[in-house]
Amino acid sequence: MEDFLLRGASRILRWTGLLSWSYRLINKYHPSFESLQPSNLNAIVNAMKRSPCGDYYEFGVYKGFSLWFATQIAATIDRTDMHFFGFDSFEGLPEPIGIDKKADSLGNYFAKGCFTADLELVKSFINKYCDKSTAERVVLIKGYYENTLVDDLNSIYGMKHAAVILVDCDMYASTKTVLKFITSKLVAGTIILFDDWLLTASDAGQQLACREWLTANPGLLLEEFCEFGMGKGFRVVRPR
């Protein structure tokens, strides 16, 4: 009954355009800092420990818990030079188009504004729970991916190749843009974690985006690394 009511409330907010507003209201009066997907935390631990040196990239930050968690794991394995890049609109999901308008495997629909968390809220969590030297190595980049994932970022922020990449942006269109951007950052051993791999059928979502990406880059070779919750991880065997 509770799940039914929550889904009904979500649909009403989506139809009235108040979904983003409702997330902001909740975050203002109940600013909890926790993972929406606890299963991805073990995946992050394993990926960090078994990846090459490099930076951490996360696409779909929400409140920043998994990004913060990655900083803590890095500290335990003495990766004190690792930088952590978090990419998010901080306005929630973009407007679904095309195949992203279909229901996911749980019968839910993507909706503009879902998972809204303001940039300043995320910054406050990072500054509160990270020590100063770690917080200085966290870079949050605001905007929808089609506008922000450009080559200039590499020189602006001195981005290195990727050790671990967490793709937690749910939708096909967003994932497709992310994969195009990260291609140049891959090296042998890079770990890519798709948090929403099973959220849709194989002909949609992250699975479709990844399959098209591999077709467009025939020299790129991945091997399975792990499964976690509704996610799946891969290790780069050959980057290009």
pLDDT of 150-189, one tens digit each? 989 999 999 999 999 999 999 999 999 999 999 999 999 9
Q: Which two tokens stand for residue 142?
A: 């605001």
Of residues 97, 90, 88, 106, the one with CA closest to residue 23: 90
Average pLDDT along the chain = 89
Residue 193 clears pLDDT 60, i.e. is over it: yes
CATH for 1-237? 3.40.50.150
Nearest Cα residue to 212 out of 170, 165, 180, 181: 180
Q: 19-28, 70-79, 204-213, 224-233 — which is least confidently predicted? A: 19-28
d(CA 53, CA 55): 7
Nearest to 234 by CA among 43, 105, 36, 35: 43
- Domain residue extents for the chain: 1-237
The SS3 call for residue 47 is: helix
pLDDT at 22 over 60: no
Decide if pLDDT at 229 tops 50. yes
> What are the tens digits of pLDDT across the range 79-115?
999 999 999 999 999 999 999 999 998 888 898 988 8
Look at residues 151, 165, 167, 154 and name the one whose alpha carbon lies nearest to residue 209.
Answer: 167
In the prediction, which pLDDT does 39 show?
81
* DSSP-derived pairing of the beta strands 162-167 and 55-59: parallel
Q: Which residues of 95-128 are buried (b: 16+ CB within 10 A; e: fewer)?
A: ebeeebeeebeeeebbbebbbbbbbebbeebbee
Q: What is the CA radius of gyration of the chain?
A: 17
The yes-or-no verdict on residue 27 having pLDDT over 80 is no
Which one has a higher pLDDT value, 58 or 27? 58
pLDDT surpasses 70 at 125 = yes
Average pLDDT of span 71-86: 96
CA distance 163 to 56: 6
141: pLDDT confidence band, cut at 50, 70 and 90?
Answer: very high
Which structure tokens are listed for 235? 């290790």
CA nearest neighbour of 47 among 227, 240, 238: 227
196's CB contacts (< 8 A; 6+ apart) are 167, 168, 169, 170, 205, 206, 230, 231
